Structure 1
Amino acid sequence: MPQLDMPLHQLQQYEGRTPRPHDFDDYWERALEEMRGTDPNVELVPAPFSVPFAECYDLYFTGVRGARIHAKYVKPKGLQQPGPAVLQFHGYAGSSGDWHDKLAYAALGFTFVSMDCRGQGGRSEDTGGVKGNTLRGHFIRGLADSPDQLLFRHIFLDTAQLASIVMSFPDVDENRVGATGWSQGGALTVACAALEPRIKKAAPVYPFLSDYRRVWEMDLAKDAYEELRTYFRQFDPQHLHEEETFTRLGYIDIQNLAPRIRAETLFGVGLMDPICPPSTQFAAINKVRAPKRLEIYPDFGHENLPGLHDKIMQFFMDL
């Protein structure tokens, strides 16, 4: 079988290379305290898009640091009692997309919510305000500032805050909520399930934002991870601060959040993925202590994985 990374038996034992900061747990408890102290000022605005069997809304809330966050909110029409919900997170630099692909879940009785990441391709704000560069990349945003200023800290918190808001709605049963996404969306699914322990099921596919040092050592700091190479070339060309940089990235490395997950988890992995290398994915997968299963595609990379959307939908049907 062709091989891009480690053999499968080694991947299944791999524990990651990026350092875990010594105060990691305190860092995230402090972050969650900030999130809980933020007035979300939730708005549900009827959308111009409509179908006979579902109601569509633009959902807005205020996240940490005052950013106004947007999500598409679709619920089945005529709900008589609280039902299940699924949260969806999009790929890097993307958006929540069109309404039509949310409707299959609504037809099955699910409320479906798709978030725009702040500062990316949708309507959510990036309020900025960090020292250092803001060139190109989001996961290096705030890297030269305090770890509390890292942009992905705020984005991870947005996912947990959205989950909490949706769980509070009368149409949603807080004990029947799942989360899913591919690439960056996979990373945000892991973060959401880690920071909001009531998430019941999680389906991340080839998650991004995991094991940054491994990406660097594989010479794959390009494509989605290109900003890491750019950061070193422009701001630390001799790698004098390499250890400090990777340690700081450890705060927003999903492998370090993975042990917090309580949700039943389904991972999708392509073993020929050059964008999010398999070993970086397994660094997070191997740290999940909750019940989990893997759907492995040996010949596939960072692309559509045939049949996986159907498997994920079937996975959520138990909700």
Structure 2
Amino acid sequence: MPLFDLPLGELQQYAPDVPEPDDFDAFWAATLKQADATPVLIDVAPADTGLSLVDTWDVTFAGYEGQPVRGWFTRPRGATADLPAVVEYLGYGRGRGLPHERLTWAAAGYAHLLMDSRGQGDLYGNGGATPDPAPAAPGGPGVATRGILTPHDYYYRRLITDAARAVTAARALPGVDPGRVAAVGNSQGGGLALAAAGLVPDLAALMISAPFLCHIQRAIDLTDADPYGEIVRYLAVNREAEPAVRRTLAYVDGIHFARRATAPLHVGVGLRDTVCPPSTVFAAYNHYAAADRTVHVYPFNHHEGGEALHTRRQLTWLASRLD
């Protein structure tokens, strides 16, 4: 894929005026208040992984409306002090899989909570364990359009609430220093981490790459690639639904969460990314409220960005913020 979006010099200055709903803060405050009415930890059970250098627990915490959300919690074996923690969110279509799949953060000495994504896990990987029990609402077959006609029914209202509650759960888990919690994610996971940073106070750090759900209106005008392509295909059939869809999407746009987030920020972006176009990433980055922010640009990469090189950069940066 050749370069298709704005030149890098323009991307670095790209901060579009994206209107937000007047009741954005009230909407999310009410949603989180409802979730917070339920104690966050439901179950923490040891998991047999066959690994000798880490300990893992099968965690269930109360997410949206108190509904159970699963996750894997992993710590370096033998650690006795309360550790800084990394809360990680998954890409679109992936479930939490098996506990030995994601060991980078525990191997680096952090406590690690990997949140499952409700109703996902069937596109790739090794499956998920969290159903989405919400009643059926008008929308397309994929989660990107599930309940998309109203912000109260929209799937991402539930998943973003889960993401915020995952931070609360991590802070309550044994062996975690609640003052040193970071959020991390790629693609959909990056969008969830950004939303959590905008909703949960006092995160110590935020690391996102190729975040989904940023400057959504531009994304659906610019790309047909999924997951945005699901929204495009829905509107191609449901032509009169466009005003309602655009209104719903405004409540989950990462730009609005970025305006409210204050944690130090580390970002990765590929300039040939047609899944989450670079202008949508820079739009959120340039609106981010904190001055402590860093972006790594990969001019010749698509949605994969910097891959292992970027992870190494994340490890170095995170150590400077959490240790």
Instruction: Provide the TM-score with structure 1 as the length reference.
Output: 0.92
How far is 1:257 from its partner? 0.9
CA distance in structure 1 between the aligned counterparts of 2:221 and 2:72, rounded to whole angstroms? 38
How far is 1:66 from its partner? 4.5
**Structure-2 residue corresponding to 1:310:** 312
**Structure-2 residue corresponding to 1:164:** 168
CA distance in structure 2 between the aligned counterparts of 1:304 and 1:283, rounded to whole angstroms? 17
The number of residues matched between the two structures is 312
- Aligned AA (1:289): A
**Structure-2 residue corresponding to 1:123:** 129
Greater RCO between the two (CA within 8 Å, min separation 6)? 1
Q: What secondary structure is seen at the aligned counterpart in 1 of 2:259? A: helix
Q: What secondary structure is seen at the aligned counterpart in 2 of 1:243? A: helix
* Greater alpha carbon shift after TM alignment, 304-313 vs 35-44: 35-44
Map 1:36-55; keep pairs closer than 5 Å. Answer: 36-55=36-55
CA distance in structure 2 between the aligned counterparts of 1:66 and 1:161, rounded to whole angstroms? 10
**Structure-1 residue corresponding to 2:300:** 299
CA distance in structure 2 between the aligned counterparts of 1:78 and 1:182, rounded to whole angstroms? 30
Map 1:141-152; keep pairs closer than 5 Å. Answer: 141-145=146-150, 147-152=151-156
Q: What secondary structure is seen at the aligned counterpart in 1 of 2:130? A: coil
- Aligned AA (2:207): A
Q: What secondary structure is seen at the aligned counterpart in 1 of 2:280? A: helix
Measured against aligned partners, the alpha-carbon deviations of 1:87-125 in whole angstroms (never above 9, x if no partner) come to 111110112233334334323321111111100001112
Inter-CA distance 152–232: structure 2 relative to 1 (3 Å threshold): same
Cα pair 2:96 2:116 within 8 Å, conserved: yes
CA distance in structure 2 between the aligned counterparts of 1:216 and 1:163, rounded to whole angstroms? 30
Map 1:177-256; keep pairs closer than 5 Å. Answer: 177-218=181-222, 220-236=223-239, 240-256=240-256
Map 1:17-56; keep pairs closer than 5 Å. Answer: 19-56=19-56
CA distance in structure 1 between the aligned counterparts of 2:102 and 2:181, rounded to whole angstroms? 15
Cα pair 1:50 1:56 within 8 Å, conserved: no
How far is 1:301 from its partner? 0.9
**Structure-2 residue corresponding to 1:289:** 289
- Aligned AA (2:318): F
- Aligned AA (1:197): P
Cα pair 2:197 2:257 within 8 Å, conserved: no
* Matching of residue 105 in structure 1 with residue 105 in structure 2: yes
How far is 1:41 from its partner? 4.6
Instruction: Point out where structure 2 has 5 or more consecutive residues left out of the alignment.
Output: 122-127
* Greater alpha carbon shift after TM alignment, 93-102 vs 111-120: 93-102
How far is 1:241 from its partner? 4.5
Identity in percent: 32
How far is 1:53 from its partner? 2.3
CA distance in structure 2 between the aligned counterparts of 1:136 and 1:241, rounded to whole angstroms? 16
Cα pair 1:67 1:124 within 8 Å, conserved: no
- Aligned AA (1:23): D
CA distance in structure 1 between the aligned counterparts of 2:238 and 2:38, rounded to whole angstroms? 34
Measured against aligned partners, the alpha-carbon deviations of 1:254-303 in whole angstroms (never above 9, x if no partner) come to 11111111111100010111111111111111111211000001111112
Measured against aligned partners, the alpha-carbon deviations of 1:124-147 in whole angstroms (never above 9, x if no partner) come to 1201214313x32223221224x2
CA distance in structure 1 between the aligned counterparts of 2:119 and 2:241, rounded to whole angstroms? 28
How far is 1:17 from its partner? 6.7
Instruction: Point out where structure 1 has 5 or more consecutive residues left out of the alignment.
Output: none
How far is 1:69 from its partner? 0.7
CA distance in structure 2 between the aligned counterparts of 1:67 and 1:316, rounded to whole angstroms? 31
- Aligned AA (2:312): D
Cα pair 1:84 1:177 within 8 Å, conserved: yes
C-alpha RMSD of the superposition? 1.8
CA distance in structure 1 between the aligned counterparts of 2:204 and 2:169, rounded to whole angstroms? 15
- Aligned AA (1:298): P
Instruction: Provide the TM-score with structure 2 as the length reference.
Output: 0.91
Inter-CA distance 184–125: structure 2 relative to 1 (3 Å threshold): same
* Matching of residue 140 in structure 1 with residue 145 in structure 2: yes
